[in-house]
Structure 1
Amino acid sequence: MAYDTEKKLEDLILRAVRQVLAEQLPAKRRLYVVFADAFDCRCVNFLRSLSPADDVTVLVDEIQAEQVRCDIEQACPFASVVLTSQARSLPLTDSLTVYPVASRDFVVKAALGLADTFAARWLARCFAAGSAVHLQLSGLARFTGREPAAYVGQILGYYRKLLEYGITIGPQFPDRKTGEQPVPQAAPVKGTTPVVACQDKVLTAADLYPYDKGTVLLVGEHTVVTSFAREAALSRGIEIRRT
């Protein structure tokens, strides 16, 4: 009888210790990866950049699953692969959804609130749940420079609308603790001209690091300046001025 009592007490102590240790470990953030377009090398490169610090779930449709499952498992072995048909039960609270590649069609539909594809419907679910969404800058379609100015302005207007929705756009997704996009700690470029013309169509915080304090950065009328870029410019004494 004494042995049984001692054993039960030992079990209770071990259970309490495990619970305390589990509570001390930082909870993993739910990170969902959605492919709005065809799976390509940009998707693989993004998956390789992920860390086990996040609870990564990759959402693929049934047709994609047979073709890309092996690539996903090799690029990100700790990720879970879930079919889009089973995604409705996934929790969105305190999660982050990343679109590694997003076509211009997806951007337009997202800005207009059209939900005729899984990627667009998932975005609407994120909005409804108040969860964070990020578009990788490297996965956005680039302008060739030959498009009519009116067309470029219209497309950039859709990007601005996504920024107004609270979607972040940049080379890296927001940090799990601060919510801000991490930026590389590059050394300032010596001899930088105080007034610099920037031709980028989307200006992020990472683009500001080559410039010294006091630099005036001239951007085009239709350049999208992210909120993080504005905050970074203000804190670093860089003026962003539209031409």
Structure 2
Amino acid sequence: MTIDDQTLRILIKEVVKQLKKEEAIETMSLPKPKMVAILGTKWQEAYNSFFDQLPQSLSYELTIVLTKELKAHPVFVNTLAERKDVNCVFREDINIENYKEFITVFPVVSREMMVKTALCIHDTFETKWIQHCMEKGQKIIMLKYGMEQLTGKEPKAYQNKIKHYYETLLDYEIEIKEEVFANSNPQEQKQVISYTNNGKKIITEKEVDQYVKKKKIELYKGDIITDLAKEKAKSLGITMIRM
């Protein structure tokens, strides 16, 4: 049987249309990636920023872990009362073993939590959760605006030690970001350079690839580059220049 060109074009269009329809159905049926936000026991101003960033439509299945006292705070009441797509679980009721294949976000990071994480001390709810994530290879994100800052009056040796702990977190592949809902599709997020609260650059092993074409990394005073990033840069023939 011979098919003329016009009939063939119509058939091809119908096949393409059907394939696109099936692809759309398959995409819609895919489960959303899971995200767990761990909140502290007391109200912190940084939580305002976290909830302000929540998009109207979440691309994650979001669970917020908090205390009963914290949930009673007006911000949480006003924010969560109308959100049917956000689950809340109290700390005392949670079983971490039930959480698999998820991303953990810490909107607030105390200095104690940062230091204990860097030193692998797991004696609090937060650090035990981090230990679990590390053991399971789960992604951890700490939000930059919620990290406890130095006053600048501390002795230089103290500041350097805290900076070292900060770098250790990055070497543990803990991500430090300005926000976590920047892209509605987590699969399409692009690598970008992160910055500290003081505007200093943070370069981890993952960010080094962005400098392959330039063949150089320009570092200014106060910029942070982890040891693993230095090793990778050297292996790729990338020169580090202190400005």
TM-score over 0.5 (shorter chain): yes
Q: Which runs of 5+ in 1 are unaligned?
A: 1-19, 185-198, 206-212
Aligned length: 202
Provide the rounded CA distance (Å) in 2 between the counterparts of 1:77 and 1:86: 20
Q: Which of 2, 27, 32 in structure 1 is aligned with 2:31?
A: 27
Q: Which deviates the most, 166-175 or 67-76?
A: 67-76
Corresponding residue to 1:130 among 127, 137, 151: 137
Task: Specify the SS of the correspondent of 1:177.
Answer: helix
Match of 2:108 in 1: 101
Indicate how the Cα distance of structure 1 residues 157 and 79 shifts in structure 2: closer, same or farther if over 3 A, else same. same
Counterpart of 2:219 in structure 1 is 218
Q: Let me know the Cα RMSD of the aligned residues.
A: 4.0
Tell me which amino acid in the other structure corresponds to 1:121: K
Match of 1:112 among 109, 119, 126: 119
Cα deviation for residue 75 of structure 1 reads 8.2
What's the TM-score, normalizing by structure 2?
Answer: 0.66
CA distance in 1, matches of 2:187, 2:150: 34
Amino acid of the residue matched to residue 38 of structure 2?
Answer: V
Counterparts of 1:23 and 1:145 in 2: how far apart (Å)?
Answer: 50
Matched residue of 1:203: which SS? strand
Q: Which residue of 1 aligns with 2:14?
A: none
Identity of aligned residues (%): 24
Q: 1:43 aligns with which of 32, 42, 47?
A: 47
Q: CA deviation at 1:54?
A: 0.8
Show the counterpart of 1:63. 69
Q: Which of 153, 162, 177 is the matching residue for 1:155? A: 162
Distance 1:76 1:43, change over 3 A: farther
Deviation of 1:146 (Å) = 2.3
How far is 1:215 from its partner?
9.0
**Inter-CA distance 182–202: structure 2 relative to 1 (3 Å threshold):** closer
> 1:203 aligns to what?
202
Gaps of 5+ in 2: 1-23, 205-213
> Distance between the aligned counterparts of 1:75 and 1:160, measured in 2?
39
How far off its partner does 1:73 sit? 0.6
What is the SS of the residue equivalent to 1:138?
Answer: helix
- Deviation of 1:182 after TM superposition, in Å, equals 5.8
Q: In structure 2, do the counterparts of structure 1 residues 215 and 125 end up closer, same or farther at CA, with 3 Å as the change threshold?
A: closer
Deviates further, 105-114 or 69-78:
69-78
Report whether the alignment pairs 1:177 with 2:178: no
Distance in 2 between the 1:75 and 1:120 partners?
Answer: 31
Asked whether the 8 Å contact 2:106–2:142 carries over to 1, the reply is yes
- The answer to whether the 8 A contact 1:47-1:75 is kept is no
Distance 1:124 1:137 in 2: 20
Give SS of 2:187's match. coil
Q: Measure the CA separation in 2 of the matches of 1:112 and 1:125.
A: 15
1:130-181 Cα offsets, whole Å, 9 max, x none, are 1100011111122332221111110011111111111001213387215655
Deviation of the 1:57 alpha carbon: 0.5
Confirm or deny: 8 A CA contact 1:48 1:76 kept in the other structure: no
Q: 1:92 to 1:144 in 2, by over 3 A?
A: same
* Per-residue deviation, 1:38: 3.0
